[in-house]
Structure 1
């Protein structure tokens, strides 16, 4: 292979969005004459050797190793113990990167990868044996060699590594921890259960904010910078202190974002379901049997009915504790009841608002009369964008039963202005929010916001002991009642919130009138596209009924839900059933180009991620159950992202609309070739199929092929990392 082509491979690897964050801190040169994969110094200089002119995944491996080592070494002293810690930490991070980046059956480029990627810390003997491989990678000032470590120093380093091992890794791996199995990345797909990635996917079309989103380059940068700060704390042996402070910082940020007085009104939780369990703990603290009334639980989360009764909702908690799903969490009362308040009729249509309110009033009256406290979950908004029951009617209900009714607003979609949240809290209603829906942060970053009266309950009662399996003290208010919680910290949760915070800050910087204008142009155009597509049927848009605020943007439907024609049916009167709609959802996020005509292969290769299907009753669907797919407007649509740099606002919004139309076109393409695609049943994938590695992107976000970038055979080619790609 010609040298210029190999250099082109290196440039393509440097273009990868998850490597550019670290590359900005380094100066990178190429010198194929050196025999080592690379050498770094303490000024952030990296010299890449001949092994970096090979196969693309191997090049990415060595470059990731060099970047990690160079950034962590930068401006450190030549202390041998500190250098050894950095070398071992960089190897651990790189080994875990290889597991995420390569095919399962691909042999690692270095023998030490398997040892450093394992869940258990290597033995001291194994570390001593492999360490000489790493020493030549660090070029010390004056060219002097690192002295051998004493036995006592190795003992100290090994003890440190045992404590630090679980905290060391690339941010895309650490973010997948501290949630549940749904965050695990599939070996064959490179995606988690939600069909998204903790690495950016700028080549994919993403309108999935009603479910979960892959990180943007902005969100990834927020998470990666937080990880680097964590790594420096890990190297100094004070990770626990750092994480506790990070939890306080994030709680303080969320308090300020939603207009609260202080961080003691904020509880961090991995998910809305975890928040629902915490909510029940507050209601149960009032020493009355609790009846939870769930509004349309089929439009929230599948685990919420378990949590609403104080039961474990999965086999493993966010803290990694194995539990029995459906069994009572220790300390929660066994007499908790759960009732359901439906919003749709048996045919899938919306019930009248007055009927919903009346049903709610009857439930509350009967439960209060039976001597029970009612915990009412109301929705702002549901999976399909419903706001219900009527909030003024709920306020009247609270006035009618003072001291007998707790209200929590499930605003986990967080498709509302912060002023609305403050209004709910002023009514003494708790509010559940996330950074992972509208704000397009990574999945599993939630929070519960407490009104004053709920905070006071912590001063007068304890928390169920079983909550220690779910939450840490640093995620809750400072209160003696919280001492029952675990003393650790959820690093995955804090890194995910760091990524979400970057998106929230970018969105908050856009004036409200601009937000409203951009939403209107996008939603109007896409609504018209759905209405004119014969394979689709738009669910009747539900306009959230809210008080008018100046330049408000949250009184419009930002989740466009639609049913899809069954492939064997002549028209949309027979919609796709739930099971096959789920397949369609997966194939949208897969490269199906091998199963469609040549003229359609570009569209077939396009990876499209939208909201998961929501089950709906329908008399003409198979089994009486249809489904609605969801195409949503999220914060990133408004604020843009780094991969949009170079596009003006009008051009960017036009491209967003065009991308949404491509999603609809790919649905019709799949329907037209349903049999062939169903036979192959292709899996979703992190990136489309290319002959080598990951696609490079042009200024407009389309796939492109790099020029040779100088394509030189010289021994020392300087690569300016600041000029590579979009910053």
Structure 2
């Protein structure tokens, strides 16, 4: 148990920060310090991002882009046009073509995307019980435990309205959730293929949704081969690629197999939180268009806007005619980052990413206070996960919580070329937990443009981590904000 010694203060929050704190749930509401529950602001310039989670801030280029859009978009018609433009641009960046045809369904966050397969099941198989299978449950958004059951996972929706967290969105929707942990108590990565096959075999009359993760918070990648192996008509496949650290070829392959794909713009592409979208194969959209009555999903009008769904479905869904300006601005920033990243040479990107990873692995292996998690070779190259060791024991979730907040408070400008650094928030498995260091699109682009070879900045980050671990006081209650 730890007590975090954090000096509290208030500051003036700008109109831009207030705007970016809207259009999603309370996770991005700002306190008197102008910080979200993650302990980070929504606008910041002099900082380094080494987190694989949603804690990025809008920087100089993002602020210029946002201000230009605010000046040029005056009324709802302008924002609706921007929404259509962003949808088309995102499809281009994702490699849409006639052979890999899909529609985009938007959501205020990645956690809200979990609702879409439930909606599709309600519309296409209204009489069937839903079996909802979710892998890597501790390494995806914490709200997924509730959203996967068709319940409100937060206290507020994207419209700023309060909702009853934990209550059913559609009271009579029959959903049974099956949660699979990513790691064992020793940190080893699980393979749940046999358990998934067993559930599919046991429920031939039900509507089954199988949610796989391809790139979790620590970079875990489920076996996508199951999609080819389990070829049942009552199964919907959903692949969570919300970390968004993969190539267009992965999306093409999954779409061609009829799988839906979840993405966000606020993790790898480092837009401020939140922004979610789901790639839905055109064949599923065609089936939805054939449904005459959409009133059975009216409860989801508390979650989605009509502008979250493809234009072909806008007049069919019982959702509000309300444009989420904040979400559109966040997607505009993500797309700007995506375009710049996609212009880079793929070989150079891979080389710099591997060089960074090897550098960080070496630094962590040489540390007396940090220890690499098992199965690093099975994780994405842009994420490194590690445990922290102090006073002859590993730090637990609460202790890592305090360490995390002490690190992101910043104040490094006198000794470093940056004032702040963000890292991946603690992830628990059983009673144990670990931290993460990760690089996103903007960081990798900087490595490539500057032809980075030494990664001296990451040496400084590891040094900061070791210093903060040494300063950490154990044995008392953590007073830092929960994340």
TM-score by length of 1: 0.60
Q: What is the SS of the residue equivalent to 1:675?
A: coil
Determine whether 1:373 maps to 2:207: yes
Contact 1:276 1:308 in 2 (8 A): yes
Q: Distance in 2 between matches of 1:540 and 1:481?
A: 50
Determine whether 1:668 maps to 2:474: no
What's 1:185 paired with?
30
Determine whether 1:197 maps to 2:41: yes
What's 1:172 paired with?
17
Shift in Å, 1:469: 1.4
What's 1:636 paired with?
442
Shift in Å, 1:447: 0.4
Contact 1:218 1:503 in 2 (8 A): no
Shift in Å, 1:365: 1.1
What's 1:274 paired with?
112
Determine whether 1:338 maps to 2:174: no
What's 1:396 paired with?
229
Q: What is the SS of the residue equivalent to 2:124?
A: coil
Q: Distance in 2 between matches of 1:583 and 1:536?
A: 16
Q: 1:680 to 1:340 in 2, by over 3 A?
A: closer
Q: Distance in 2 between matches of 1:464 and 1:606?
A: 47
Q: CA RMSD in A?
A: 2.9
Determine whether 1:483 maps to 2:302: no
What's 1:527 paired with?
361
Shift in Å, 1:283: 2.1
Greater relative contact order: 1 or 2 (C-alpha under 8 angstroms, separation 6 or more)?
Answer: 2
Shift in Å, 1:423: 1.1
Q: 1:672 to 1:172 in 2, by over 3 A?
A: same
Specify which structure has the higher proportion of helix.
Answer: 1
5+ residue gaps, structure 1: 1-102, 107-116, 118-168, 234-238, 545-554, 594-599, 618-624, 685-727
Deviations 1:496-529 (A, max 9, x none): 1111111111101112111111112211111111
Contact 1:317 1:469 in 2 (8 A): yes
Contact 1:592 1:677 in 2 (8 A): no
Q: How does 1:703-718 map to 2 (within 5 A)?
A: none
Shift in Å, 1:192: 1.6
What's 1:443 paired with?
273
Q: How does 1:277-296 map to 2 (within 5 A)?
A: 277-287=115-125, 288-296=128-136
Q: What is the SS of the residue equivalent to 2:360?
A: helix
Q: How many residues align?
A: 466
Shift in Å, 1:256: 1.4
Contact 1:430 1:448 in 2 (8 A): yes
Deviations 1:520-576 (A, max 9, x none): 2211111111111111001124445xxxxxxxxxx842210000013x22xxxx210
Deviations 1:682-703 (A, max 9, x none): 999xxxxxxxxxxxxxxxxxxx
Q: How does 1:552-631 map to 2 (within 5 A)?
A: 556-566=380-390, 568-569=391-392, 574-591=393-410, 602=415, 606-617=419-430, 625-631=431-437
Q: What is the SS of the residue equivalent to 1:339?
A: strand
Shift in Å, 1:222: 2.5
- Name the larger-Rg structure: 1
Q: What is the SS of the residue equivalent to 2:436?
A: strand
Contact 2:52 2:438 in 1 (8 A): yes
Q: Distance in 1 between matches of 2:329 and 2:474?
A: 41
Q: What is the SS of the residue equivalent to 2:394?
A: coil
Q: Distance in 2 between matches of 1:442 and 1:508?
A: 19
Q: Distance in 2 between matches of 1:105 and 1:213?
A: 20
What's 1:215 paired with?
58
Q: What is the SS of the residue equivalent to 2:185?
A: coil
Deviations 1:48-94 (A, max 9, x none): xxxxxxxxxxxxxxxxxxxxxxxxxxxxxxxxxxxxxxxxxxxxxxx
What's 2:6 paired with?
none
5+ residue gaps, structure 2: 1-8
TM-score by length of 2: 0.89
Q: 1:335 to 1:680 in 2, by over 3 A?
A: closer
Determine whether 1:452 maps to 2:265: no
Contact 1:614 1:628 in 2 (8 A): yes
Q: Distance in 2 between matches of 1:273 and 1:105?
A: 30
Contact 2:107 2:277 in 1 (8 A): yes
Indicate which of 290, 313, 319 corresponds to 2:159: 319
What's 1:110 paired with?
none
